[in-house]
């Protein structure tokens, strides 16, 4: 069986590792357009801020491919799929036959069609990140266009390097897809305290030599302009092969396209009308596709999205239907803007259907579990927002957390799995990460994993 994977990013590399874990014999070739081994795109903001080095965010290195008998072609873009001959063709003319093909082509950064936009740098790839860092060393002021997740991470990263930063956003408040108006305003106030000036409701008309020109003619001065205007699924390869493409490459519950020998996973895939732009769904899809490819049975039924902002000194989690009002749901809200704190629960039919947690909170684990499982919400609503004030046990305490509780959402790792690998000999967080992949996604579960490991260590000391 010959498996070819097109795309060696977070989805493609996970698919390859999942297949190899299930089948040590299958012949696997993976093509990646980028010239480097796969890396964790979620952690690029840490690289931009200087808190991580590029090599620290790698997912797999070249030695892994050699050790697992996987051929990896770095810097080799596939330009054509010959479905009749079951062959892919690269830009340098290489032809590689396949029995099964997986498209994991990801997304490209959206570049707005405005004059001078070539002076700006998109924030999407490791190469982009390195160009931004090089420019930041000689820049005096930066502008980031786009106030979504990536734009905020880019702005915070540049501010962390000591640059004054202005964040420009077309919508009326930041992260308008995930946050309500007040949460967006509180987030803007938090960023202001970290050195980021936020301008919402503004549109860039051009990128000039001295900065960004707005629609009203105002010039926002900068000698470094970063684009974070969203992403678009890369579907040209699939469309050119005659596969069904809407917003993404259309797939069924087995992640197959309308050609049963071709699968699609990650940001390029559209399942049940949805294109997911987060890492956890991509890795869930990779696991399902790998199971099917290796002869097993598995179905992908969609993902429940939890957005985590990865920016130093900014704690944010948003999930589900955050925009619903009291007309359509029960809404429990707390705001303390002076402390940068905003918490909101959206409850319908006694189930948590949405939540926003901005600012440090020990409620994230419990609320994420309730949201994931669709379990009934306890009657003590205030206790959900402030677990420390409730007389009830805190559900995400390592002592009381059930083994079935999910600790790492990116990799779907439970407390029970962490306990099992500890008992098998993993003696620290690094050992747990190597055995389960916990903490290797967005990284926000690291403290929870460390807490469980510390608790297990204490238990072991007591038993001795």
Q: What is the pTM of this model?
A: 0.86
404 and 384 share a domain? no
Q: What tokens does 282 get?
A: 């991509």
List the Cα angle 127/130/131 in 5-degree steps.
Answer: 90
Given a contact cutoff of 8 angstroms between Cβ atoms, the answer to whether 233 and 109 are in contact is no
Q: Kindly report, residue by residue over 400-432, the tens digit of the pLDDT.
A: 577 777 788 778 788 888 888 887 777 788 888
* Of the residues 207, 229, 251, the one at which a domain ends: 229
Does a structural domain hold residue 175? yes
**Residue partners of 170: CB distance under 8 A and separation at least 6:** 147, 201, 202, 203
* Of the residues 392, 409, 433, the one at which a domain ends: 392
What is the rounded CA–CA span in Å between residue 121 and residue 119? 7
73 and 12 share a domain? yes
CATH code (residue 344) = 3.30.390
Q: What tokens does 129 get?
A: 């990140």
What phi-psi label fits residue 266: left (phi over 0), alpha (psi between -120 and 50 degrees) or beta? left
122 and 218 share a domain? yes
What is the rounded CA–CA span in Å between residue 91 and residue 138? 36
76 and 18 share a domain? yes
* Domain tally, the chain: 4
CATH code (residue 81) = 3.50.50.60
Strands 351-358 and 341-348: antiparallel
The tens place of each residue's pLDDT in the chain, 464 residues long, gives 999 999 999 999 999 999 999 999 999 999 999 999 999 998 898 899 888 899 899 999 999 999 999 999 999 999 999 999 999 999 999 999 999 999 999 999 999 999 999 999 999 999 999 999 999 999 999 999 999 999 999 999 999 899 999 999 999 999 999 999 999 999 999 999 999 999 999 999 999 999 999 999 999 999 999 999 999 999 999 999 999 999 999 999 999 999 999 999 999 999 999 999 889 999 999 999 999 999 999 999 999 888 988 777 889 999 999 998 899 999 999 999 999 999 999 999 999 999 999 998 778 888 988 898 888 998 888 888 887 654 434 344 565 577 777 788 778 788 888 888 887 777 788 888 878 888 887 777 777 788 888 877 776 664 43
Domain interval for residue 95: 2-107+232-293
220 and 244 share a domain? no
Distances (CA, A) of 164 to 10, 111, 140, 142, 446: 32, 23, 7, 6, 30
Residues pairing with 109 in the sheet: 231
**Residue partners of 449: CB distance under 8 A and separation at least 6:** 407, 408, 418, 429, 432, 433, 438, 439
H or E stretch covering 64 = helix 62-67
Half-sphere exposure of 102 (CA within 13 A, CB side): 38
251 and 331 share a domain? no
Does a structural domain hold residue 315? no
Q: Kindly report, residue by residue over 81-118, the tens digit of the pLDDT.
A: 999 999 999 999 999 999 999 999 999 999 999 999 99
- Taking alpha carbons only, the member of 218, 223, 224, 222 closest to residue 204 is 218
What phi-psi label fits residue 129: left (phi over 0), alpha (psi between -120 and 50 degrees) or beta? alpha
Does a structural domain hold residue 300? no
CATH code (residue 446) = 1.10.10.1100
149 and 216 share a domain? yes
């Amino acid at each position: 069986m010959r498996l070819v994977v097109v795309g060696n990013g977070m989805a493609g590399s996970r698919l390859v590792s999942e297949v190899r874990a299930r089948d040590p014999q299958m012949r696997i070739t993976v093509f990646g357009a980028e010239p480097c081994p796969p890396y964790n795109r979620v952690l690029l903001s840490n690289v931009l801020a200087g808190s991580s080095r590029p090599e620290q965010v790698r997912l797999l290195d070249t030695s892994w491919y050699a050790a697992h008998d996987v051929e990896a072609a770095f810097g080799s873009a596939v330009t054509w799929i010959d479905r009749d001959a079951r062959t892919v063709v690269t830009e340098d003319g290489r032809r590689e036959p396949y029995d099964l093909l997986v498209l994991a082509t990801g997304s490209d950064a959206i570049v707005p069609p405005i004059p001078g936009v070539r002076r700006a740098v998109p924030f999407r790839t490791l190469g982009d990140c390195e160009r931004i860092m090089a420019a930041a060393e000689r820049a005096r002021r930066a502008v980031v266009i786009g106030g979504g997740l990536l734009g905020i991470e880019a702005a915070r990263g540049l501010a962390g390097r000591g640059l004054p930063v202005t964040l420009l956003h077309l919508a009326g408040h930041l992260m308008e897809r995930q946050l309500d108006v007040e949460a967006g305003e509180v987030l803007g106030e938090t960023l202001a305290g970290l050195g980021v000036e936020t301008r919402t409701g503004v549109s860039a008309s051009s990128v000039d030599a001295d900065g960004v020109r707005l629609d009203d003619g105002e010039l926002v001065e900068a000698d470094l302009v970063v684009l974070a205007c969203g992403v678009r699924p890369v579907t040209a390869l699939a469309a050119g092969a005659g596969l069904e493409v809407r917003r993404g490459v259309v797939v069924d519950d087995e992640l197959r396209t309308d050609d049963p020998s071709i699968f699609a996973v990650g940001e390029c895939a559209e399942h049940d009308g949805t294109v997911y732009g987060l890492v956890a769904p991509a890795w869930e899809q990779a696991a399902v596709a790998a199971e099917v490819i290796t002869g097993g049975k598995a179905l992908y039924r969609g993902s429940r999205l939890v957005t985590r902002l990865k920016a130093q000194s900014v704690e944010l989690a948003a999930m589900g239907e955050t925009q619903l009002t009291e007309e359509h749901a029960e809404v429990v809200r707390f705001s303390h803007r002076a402390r940068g704190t905003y918490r909101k629960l959206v409850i319908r039919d006694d189930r948590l259907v949405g939540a926003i947690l901005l600012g440090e909170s020990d409620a994230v684990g419990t609320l994420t579990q309730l949201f994931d499982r669709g379990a009934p919400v306890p009657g003590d609503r205030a206790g959900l927002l402030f677990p420390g004030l409730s007389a009830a046990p805190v559900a995400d305490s390592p002592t009381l957390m059930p083994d079935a509780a999910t600790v790492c959402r990116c990799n779907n790792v439970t407390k029970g799995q962490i306990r099992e690998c500890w008992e098998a000999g993993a003696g620290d967080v690094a050992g747990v990460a190597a055995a389960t992949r916990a903490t290797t996604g967005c990284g926000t579960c690291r403290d929870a994993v460390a807490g469980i490991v510390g608790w297990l260590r204490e238990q072991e000391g007591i038993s001795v």
